[in-house]
Chains A and B, each alone.
Chain A
Amino acid sequence: GQQVMQIPQYQHVQEGEDFTTYCNSSTTLSNIQWYKQRPGGHPVFLIQLVKSGEVKKQKRLTFQFGEAKKNSSLHITATQTTDVGTYFCAGPESGGSNYKLTFGKGTLLTVNP
């Protein structure tokens, strides 16, 4: 079945440093979504990318969707303590509808103030 892999599994940074997490799918994705889960919380939708090569920004966060629509990245510039949490990418099952998402294992980001 479809696999979505994320690296790194953990990342610890000093406040102010940049952070990047990478997501790779075993199959081509129609779209990719990113979610953030704070410790003890639930996943919260951040963004969806649909087009090949698409780049979207949300303040200090930059999201990219690969040209082949099989990989994606999330880059955070100048991390803050509020960025702490696990970042998940998720894509719909190949050939399936948008509803059935396969999530990666996530990247846990911790920030040292």
Chain B
Amino acid sequence: GAGVSQTPSNKVTEKGKYVELRCDPISGHTALYWYRQSLGQGPEFLIYFQGTGAADDSGLPNDRFFAVRPEGSVSTLKIQRTERGDSAVYLCASSLTNGYNSPLHFGNGTRLTVT
């Protein structure tokens, strides 16, 4: 079956602009996560959705970052007033549940470059 789909695969934007990154999880997966990966680092947790609600957004770096999942499936990560430090690969993952024995299935990520 289809895996986690993320669009766009690459996004180049100018400092100060607004961007939206989209994630389409595996069908039937109730849990959805956003992680950010910088070069040479492991993925860093940003936010977790269970259904439509953001159950934990403690990893969002500041209030320029926001994410939604209005119908409990597709999610959009929104970044306002982008800064060069926001450049990274943004990974979306989904899992069947949020419990044990429910591993994360990652998408290919969106590589964001802020110039």
Where the two chains meet, the residues of A that have a C-beta atom closer than 8 Å to any C-beta of B are: 4, 31, 33, 35, 41-45, 48, 50, 88, 90, 97-106
Contact = CB atoms under 8 A, between A and B. Distances in A.
Contacts, number: 58
A48 B33 CA distance: 18
A50 B42 contact: no
B90 to A, nearest CB: 11
B26 interface: no
8 contacts: A33-B104, A45-B103, A45-B105, A50-B100, A90-B42, A99-B56, A101-B43, A101-B104
B112 to A, nearest CB: 15
Given A42-B91, A99-B31, A104 B102 contact: no
Interface in B42-63: 42-45, 48, 55-56, 58-59
Contacts of A31: 100
B100 A104 contact: no
A21 to B, nearest CB: 13
B98 interface: yes
B31 A103 contact: no
Given A42-B107, A42-B109, A100 B45 contact: yes
Nearest to A44: B106
A88 B104 CA distance: 13
B40 A48 contact: no
B99 interface: yes
Contacts of B31: 99
B103 A42 contact: no
Interface string B88-100: 0001000100111
Contacts of B44: 103
A53 B55 CA distance: 32
